[in-house]
Structure 1
């Protein structure tokens, strides 16, 4: 994994299309977990559990599995209604098993032209398991991309690893497979180029673990007003900074978390607030990557 260290003061101003101050991404993570796994080790489902006593993977964990499935059955539809009512897109991530097991959810997003980002094969098989097995990692990625093409109807352009657990080999493998953006890294408020094997280039479009419903609601214990305050504070500061050099804002969301009735208002209120600003680019990662590949020299030479 190779990219240049260029601190913010050493960059030229980033000028988004149409003079936008912020490129806005709201990420809806569409994720599937198997009920059991053939192991007696603790079963890592991705993200915090609603009941924290860990069970072996070969023992069915009913409260944690059905809590997450609530997002597929109920929570995601509250989120989708919010985006449709406001007329803004969401950038959806999808692991392959979600496309196979919960096709109706994915098809709803595809029918509306929303972005789908490849997100591993299944939520419980992290790429970090393949730190010392590059061929095993390559096989997982290829199987994921194969299912993506079958479900979405076109090749994937970008990747988010489950729980952001990638390896130093991941960008090189993705670039080999023709992907153009990678969204695991947490280290910036602007996109930048990554240098991959064979002279290939990818665009890093940073994710966030801070402005994320897991962090805000489950780790920090904020209520709906507290979560809205976090989203708003992030937006306001990036909007202020974006007057001199454009910024990227992402919110990471999970349907079984923010899709709960007592939390969804934080999303609705934030979308309504951000829509009052005209110089916001409601966009997709694919659009950002395509634009940045053409304009990166104007930003970081």
Structure 2
């Protein structure tokens, strides 16, 4: 199916049996969005300051000037939040996929090297953390290539996954046509990977999640405390685990350095990892591992 069409049927009543390693009922994918240093800023030639996903919910961007408060909130993510998340994951021995903005990594190479040293998968997340809907196709193509090169240089390995988040009509075709990516995650429509047609051939999509995601701390009527997020993650996991007795599922958990990295929120991640370990039945994996398993176990037709 072309990425320009909508598929409202998907797998229907009989999704494929995922056959996750070890007979796991749920493949759990932890994703850390690393964006700090790539957000909107007039210093970058942008019209206004960043107005999205910071602690002052609903505050309008500053047009034609800097918002030093917002800049410092983003800086918290790279200066402190990232390392708190790093320590938490290391304590659990949990694998992770990073959605990394190229410019953000370039501005904090120590974090990039720490990702590589930890064995995390580092996937592309655009050159900057911007909306690509109105970015010219040739610029977006160059940004994809530039991001892949920076990740390879700083994290030690070229990315095989991609997630823009705010895509253009060209994004998936450009990613598929680049030739070095196994999958993209610019989709929220399923509990399992699936194939679409992109650039005239099958292309794997490993869907992501905006519901089991810490960004809900920064929206009205979202999470307020760590217990709110933990309860939601546990409920999601338990539902998928129960369904997975028959047909295994996949669960994505979205994280951000400047959000879950705050001391009052990190307990949601720690508590969830403890719950998953205690309950069993989960394969905690990178998105690359999930993609490679799917490609081998459920190759595209033809």
Q: Structures share a fold, TM > 0.5?
A: yes
Aligned to 2:158: 155
Return closer, same or farther for 1:54/1:19 CA change in 2, 3 Å cut-off: same
Deviates further, 164-173 or 176-185: 164-173
Pairing partner for 1:83 from 72, 79, 89? 89
Name the CA shift for 1:229/1:202 in 2 (closer, same or farther; >3 Å). Answer: same
Is the CA contact (8 Å cut-off) linking 1:43 and 1:55 kept in structure 2? Answer: yes
Deviations 1:4-43 (CA, angstroms, capped at 9, x unpaired):
6423314333221221111111111111335434657443
Aligned pair in 2 of structure 1 residues 244, 297: CA closer, same or farther (>3 Å)? Answer: farther
For 1:2-13, list aligned pairs within 5 A.
2=3, 5-13=9-17
Deviation at 1:237, TM superposition (A): 0.4
Gaps of 5+ in 1: none
Q: Are the equivalent residues in 2 in contact too, given 1:76–1:255 (CA < 8 A)?
A: yes
SS at 2:259 equivalent: coil
Q: Answer whether contact 1:50 1:63 (CA < 8 A) is retained.
A: no
Q: How far apart in 2 are the matches of 1:260 and 1:61?
A: 21
Gaps of 5+ in 2: none
Partner SS state of residue 123, structure 2: strand
Alignment of 1:183-222 (within 5 A): 183-199=185-201, 201-216=202-217, 218-219=219-220, 220-222=222-224
Structure 1 residue 228: Cα displacement: 0.8
Partners of 2:61 and 2:195 in 1: CA distance:
41
Name the residue aligned to 1:15.
19
Between stretches 133-142 and 285-294, larger displacement belongs to: 133-142
Distance (whole Å) between structure 1 residues aligned to residue 141 and residue 46 of structure 2:
26
C-alpha distance in 2, partners of 1:52/1:191?
34
The residue number in structure 2 matching 1:119 is 125
**How high is the TM-score relative to the length of structure 2?**
0.89
Instruction: Write the deviation string for residues 150-207 of structure 1: whole angstroms up to 9, x where unpaired.
Output: 222332101011xx111232111111112111111011111111211142x3221111
| RMSD, aligned α-carbons | 2.2
Contact residue 40 and residue 56 of structure 1 kept, 8 A: no
Asked whether the equivalents of residues 71 and 256 of structure 1 are also in contact (C-alpha less than 8 Å), the reply is yes
Other-structure match for 1:165: 166
SS at match of 2:298: helix
Q: Deviations over 1:208-227 (max 9, x none)?
A: 11111111454314212111
